[in-house]
């Protein structure tokens, strides 16, 4: 079992982050959503709110996201934000 998620955060104009993370917290349409490694495949629409990722041995990274999607499959998480600003 893998203990990290390969996570890529993308905005329409480019890639924002790419790397191994241990936890993702996103703001889905109907509430907050936490993703740990080995999560079942999921596609969810994101609402307006913070996106936080936890990287082993580093400070958390945070963005404000407005609209977009999160897809998780085989420990690969892709976050496609419609609007994204660094927090």
Partner 1 sequence: MATARELKNKIRSVANTKKITRTMEMISTAKAVVCKKRIEATQPYGDKLAEILRDLGGAGGRSESGSFPLLRIPEQVHREALFIVTANRGLCGGYNSNVLKMAENFTVQRNSEGVEIDSYVVGKKGITRFKYRGKETAASYTCFEDRPTFEEAEEVISPVMASFEKGEIDGLTVIFTHYESASRQKPVIRKLLPISADDSEGSSSSRREFILEPSPELILGRLLPLSLKMQFFQALVEAAACEQIARRIAMKNATDNAEEMSKTYTQLYNRTRQGAITQEILEVIAGAEVMS
Residues at the interface with partner 1 (CB under 8 A)? 8, 10-15, 28-30, 33, 40-45, 67-69, 71, 73, 78, 80, 82-83
Residue from 75, 40, 36 nearest 53 by CA: 36
Give the whole-angstrom CA distance, residue 84 versus residue 87. 9
Smallest distance, Å, CB 57 to partner 1?
26
Smallest distance, Å, CB 3 to partner 1?
21
Q: Which is nearer to partner 1, 56 or 71 (by Cβ)? A: 71
Q: Which is nearer to partner 1, 45 or 56 (by Cβ)? A: 45
Which tokens sit at 74?
Answer: 């085989």
- Report the chain's C-alpha Rg in angstroms: 12
Unique residue bearing structure tokens 């990722």: 53
Q: Which is nearer to partner 1, 56 or 80 (by Cβ)? A: 80
């Amino acid at each position: 079992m893998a203990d990290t998620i390969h996570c890529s955060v993308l905005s329409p104009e480019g890639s924002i982050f790419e790397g191994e993370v241990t936890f993702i917290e996103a703001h889905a349409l109907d509430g907050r959503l936490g993703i740990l490694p080995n999560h079942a495949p999921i596609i969810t629409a994101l609402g307006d709110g913070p996106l936080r990722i936890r990287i082993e041995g580093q400070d958390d990274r945070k963005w404000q996201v407005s609209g977009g999607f999160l897809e998780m499959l085989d420990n690969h998480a892709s976050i496609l934000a419609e609007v994204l600003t660094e927090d």
